[in-house]
Amino acid sequence: MIDKIILHCSATREGQDIDIETIREWHIKDRGWRDVGYHYVVKLDGTVQAGRPVGKPGAHCKGENHNIGVCYIGGVDTDMQPKDTRTDEQKDALLGLFKEIKVKYPDIKVYGHRDFAKKACPSFDAKAEYEDL
């Protein structure tokens, strides 16, 4: 049962403009996965790119891969330290995407990867930020 959106960051430097194809390449070549691990990726300009089909298990959060994995580009500063680097366009796009997903899954809640692993990802408290969604 899909009941969570797990938000991730790409852990790329603030302002570094990559897209889902770059992440797909990392996941396939570096990790040996079949595809990109996320269901959606949100670029710096707010463009939402589709990854794995929702309903097909992702590869984004141990024990939660049946849920929806969303990744925003960024998440670290120039020294590779965790930082909420979301652009205004990304914030708007994430909120819109979450609302769209909520139409199909009304009881779904948003969490950060850090709620399930000892990581800073997504570099802010997503659970608190989106709890009223």
Strand partners, 6: 69, 111
Active-site choice (66, 91, 109, 119): 119
113 noted as active-site residue: yes
Determine which one of 43, 60, 83, 113 is catalytic: 113
Active-site residue flag, 39: no
> Can 38 be counted among the known catalytic residues?
yes
3-state SS of the chain is: CCCEEEEEECCEECCCCCCHHHHHHHHHHHCCCCCCCCCEEECCCCCEEECCCCCCCCCCCCCCCCCEEEEECCEECCCCCECCCCCHHHHHHHHHHHHHHHHHCCCCEEEEHHHCCCCCCCCCCHHHHCCCC
Annotated active-site residue in 4, 9, 38, 111: 38
8, 27, 39, 60: which one is catalytic?
8
* 8 annotated active-site: yes
Q: Which residues are catalytic?
A: 8, 38, 113, 119, 121
